[in-house]
Amino acid sequence: MAWQRIASFGEIGVDGVLGVDVNGTPVALYRLSNEVFATSGICTHALALLSDGFVEDGRIECPLHQGQFDIRSGKALCAPVTEDLRTFAVKLEGDDVFIDMERPAASAPAVANAAANRKAGDGVRAAEEGDQADIGAIADVNGDPELSLTKRYVWPAEGLTRIPDWVYTDQTIYEREIERIFHGRTWNYVALECEVPEAGDFIRSNVGPTPVVVVRADDGSINVVENRCSHRAAEFCRELSGNVKEFVCPYHQWSYDLQGNLAGVPFRRGVNGKGGMPADFNNAQHGLRRLNVTTHRGVVFASYLHDMEPFQDYLGPEVFKEFEATFDGRKPRLLGYYRHTLPGNWKLYHENLKDPYHATLLHTFLVTFGLLVAGNRSLMLADATGRHGVMASARSERKRVSSDAKKEMRAYRDGMTLAEPRFMDFVEEFDSPWSVTMATIWPNLIIQREMNTLGVRQIIPTGPHEFIMKWTMFGFEGDDEEMTRHRLRQGNLMGPAGFLGLEDNEAIKFVQDGMQHVPGGQHLVKLDPAVAAGSSDSLISEASIRAMYRHWRAEMGL
Ligand code: FES
Ligand SMILES: [Fe+2]
């Protein structure tokens, strides 16, 4: 399939071994009389390079613990090796040695028949991987030799209409997401300003899985610092929220001011002239790690990068407009929290809100009460990068659900009514054509404006298979008692047991279950082929999910 020239015949000594690096994967080439064979270049027992080993009687002996493998078949022959080596198909053309990394040795065409023209072979390969050309056929994550032994993170040749399971289930991919996305070039939601109104107020929060503390200092500034003592790493802040004059680590009482500077080290000069810190120990060099912070209309974001673009540019004009439609200048007022754990990959939550298709099918409440119905005026917006999105819909009256649409929607329940009719009241308060908007702000924020119930949801991943969802429900300063009650009542739509939230949570678990119990597959995201990836005015679309993965792949180098 994908022959690549990797050496010349003359480079491999008779009965010798030559180590080559093929796109980051170590490969060992052997010459037994006039034939060439190829295996994985690293011993399956420990991480020794077989090219440093010894060839004898068609066997390769590992230099580290003297395990032996049959060169032709890769078979493990003696202790301590038990696992066979991967073998690769080899062909010779003149002095050129080609291998096919996707085919084991046994299926290689006989050397004598190997007449394929090298240029033609390259052409086929280029066509197969056309979609991947700009990202790189073999991702740089595969360059890590430890990974190359067992795993290859290669995106399906079909492109963005398929998403492989390893995107959601693999620990190495998850760790790379923390490094490249949550700790990379992103603004991460951490708090609402109204949670820390006074000097000394703090809340615990997270950037990706990393715990941080959001604290207002005496000068009114908001600081975000890692919740990790610079002495011995203790997660020093134990309360979810509170008010302090300084932070004192419980372990050895190192203290920090509200900007994260190290203020005090007990027994810094030792006792009776003995012990203590070195004389040149400088507090200024041992403060808490501080993140870059920005706020907009009462919402606080943090970044590990100190040269981030302004928040407005980060969102792009259309998503920024939707952000400002919800955070319309009134001061947010905290109403309360939900917090729960979801057994799924964190990206599934983004996908769920870039998947208007499910909304019309899964959610009985939405369709029965006309909040989101196929045929409603709606928009699935993606920003230019594909990372952010807004699902928006204008509410329809119940009677307008056409009988055609009803047939498609098993979730529709004709006789269902509300015992509390005020639940569905919609007080027009926003300058927006939409009664419902769900904005997904990459990488960890959902802004929910479902008629008059308002909330921000923070995604806190804890591993590839799980994340915490923290919902902060809010109203605005100036809301009267009745409006606050209305927002709280309507808030029953959302949250872990909400009329809508519940079904999404289940669906995410089912998807993760499917991948974990029947692994190694791919998701199909083909809906709405007219839009390759990006915004769509159809609800029956997965174009926004494709846009998100176009961005994700670029960020991840995959
Ligand atoms: S670990 Fe914090 S003071 Fe020692
Ligand atoms: Fe949903």
Span from the CA of 540 to the centroid of ligand 2 (angstroms): 14
131 pLDDT tier (thresholds 50, 70, 90): very low
Nearest CA to ligand 1 atom 1: 232
Q: Does ligand 1 come within 6 angstroms of the Cβ of 267?
A: no
Mean model confidence pLDDT for the chain: 89
Query: Which ligand 1 atom is nearest residue 252's CA?
Result: 3
Domains of the chain: 3-128 (2.102.10.10), 140-182 (no CATH), 188-295 (2.102.10.10), 308-556 (3.90.380.10)
Query: Which ligand 1 atom is nearest residue 232's CA?
Result: 1
Close Cβ partners of 204 (under 8 Å, ≥ 6 residues apart): 211, 212, 213, 214, 227, 237, 239, 240, 241
Q: Does ligand 1 come within 6 angstroms of the Cβ of 485?
A: no
User: What is the reported pLDDT for 114?
Assistant: 31
Task: Please indicate whether residue 246 or residue 412 has the higher confidence score (pLDDT).
Answer: 246
- Quote the DSSP letter at residue 536: B
Q: What percent of the chain is predicted at pLDDT more than 70? A: 88
Task: Find the mean pLDDT for residues 102-126.
Answer: 45
Task: Find the mean pLDDT for residues 470-485.
Answer: 98
Whether pLDDT at 505 is above 60: yes
Query: Which ligand 1 atom is nearest residue 236's CA?
Result: 2
Structural contact between residues 476 and 429, judged by C-beta atoms closer than 8 angstroms: no
Q: Does ligand 1 come within 6 angstroms of the Cβ of 234?
A: yes
Specify the amino acid at residue 147: L
Is residue 488 classed exposed, middle or buried when 0-12, 13-18 and 19+ CB atoms within 10 A define those classes?
middle
Per-residue pLDDT reduced to its tens digit, 358-374: 987 888 887 787 776 66
Token pair 């007022």 is found at 333
For residue 107, how many other CB atoms are within 10 A of its CB?
10
Nearest CA to ligand 1 atom 4: 252
Q: Does ligand 1 come within 6 angstroms of the Cβ of 231?
A: yes
Nearest CA to ligand 1 atom 3: 252
For residue 443, how many other CB atoms are within 10 A of its CB?
24
152 pLDDT tier (thresholds 50, 70, 90): confident
Whether pLDDT at 148 is above 60: no
Whether pLDDT at 119 is above 80: no
Ligand 2 is an ion; its neighbours by CB within 5 Å are: 504
Span from the CA of 527 to the centroid of ligand 1 (angstroms): 53
Span from the CA of 502 to the centroid of ligand 2 (angstroms): 9
Q: Is this prediction's pTM over 0.85?
A: no
In angstroms, the CA 245 to CA 256 distance is 9
Structural contact between residues 192 and 472, judged by C-beta atoms closer than 8 angstroms: yes
Structural contact between residues 218 and 199, judged by C-beta atoms closer than 8 angstroms: yes
Span from the CA of 358 to the centroid of ligand 2 (angstroms): 6
Return the exposure string of 3-40: e unless at least 16 CB atoms fall within 10 Å of the residue's CB, then b. Answer: beebbeeeebeeeebbbbebbbbbbbbbbbeeebbbbb
Q: Does ligand 1 come within 6 angstroms of the Cβ of 254?
A: yes
DSSP for 257-299, written as a single string: -TTS-EEE-TTTT-BTTBSSS-TT--GGGS-PPBPEEEEETTE
Query: Which ligand 1 atom is nearest residue 230's CA?
Result: 2
